[in-house]
Amino acid sequence: MPAAGRAAFTGLYDTVVALTMRERRFRGDLADRLLADAGADGAQLRVADIGAGTGTFAIALATRGAQVDAVDGDAEVLARARRKPGADQVSWHEGRADALPLADASVDRVVCSLVLHHLADADKHAALAEAHRVLRPGGRLHIADWGAPRDPAMPVAFRILQLVDGRTTTQAHADGLVPGFISRAGFASVRVDDRLRTVWGQLELLSATKHAA
């Protein structure tokens, strides 16, 4: 799946996210939550960035000291990511969200940013199961993706997004079903940490924990 949902949009992805998604706010908030208890510099924290796309967030985490495994199924977008400044600090992997090229219980955090809404519901479940598999006991999952509209304007904005990304893959988000999907994958303490209004709809930051051994 290309970073923007369609291959023709890949070259515009970074610009569109920056201009319409309050990127600095949501990615900064997401990174702070992910690294919150990792010490002063995030050192020794291993993070899997699933659906890493053009690599902006993976590189930002690596710059803050995390050991980052960035996974994406699109070879073209990975090539773009590897050309960015700081890309040499990240381990890049070509692979699918529902078949991660990572060992069981090998990472401390899994992050999925603007990924799940591109997947059919069955693939969402498979991707969340894989996130659970690769996390160490006590590790945390962090997700940034669309949630249920919470005011009259948001459904209109989200319907426009659905014209681009498709109703089949996005309707579960509009219906507020994603937290339940996360629980069904075996995670505990599922919560919505923040909500942001964007041009395209309501963006939610969610987190959950894998049970400690």
Contact 78, 92 (CB under 8 A): yes
Q: Is residue 196 part of a domain?
A: yes
Q: Is residue 192 part of a domain?
A: yes
The enclosing domain of 133 has a CATH number of: 3.40.50.150
pLDDT tens, position by position, for the chain (213 residues)? Answer: 554 444 545 555 555 555 455 567 778 889 999 998 775 544 579 999 999 999 999 999 999 999 999 999 999 999 999 999 999 999 999 999 999 999 999 999 999 998 999 999 999 999 999 999 999 999 999 999 999 888 777 777 778 778 877 889 999 999 999 999 999 999 999 999 998 888 777 889 999 999 987
pTM for the full model? 0.86
Task: Please report which residue ranges of the chain form alpha helices under DSSP H.
Answer: 13-20, 23-34, 56-63, 75-82, 121-134, 153-165, 167-174, 178-184
Please compute Rg for the chain using Cα positions: 16
Q: Domain range holding 132? A: 7-209
CA separation for the pair 186, 132 (Å, rounded):
7
> How many structural domains comprise the chain?
1
Residue with the two structure tokens 């659970």 = 132
| pLDDT tens column, 134-153 | 999 999 999 999 998 887 77
CA separation for the pair 81, 106 (Å, rounded):
23
Q: Is residue 1 part of a domain?
A: no
Q: Is residue 72 part of a domain?
A: yes
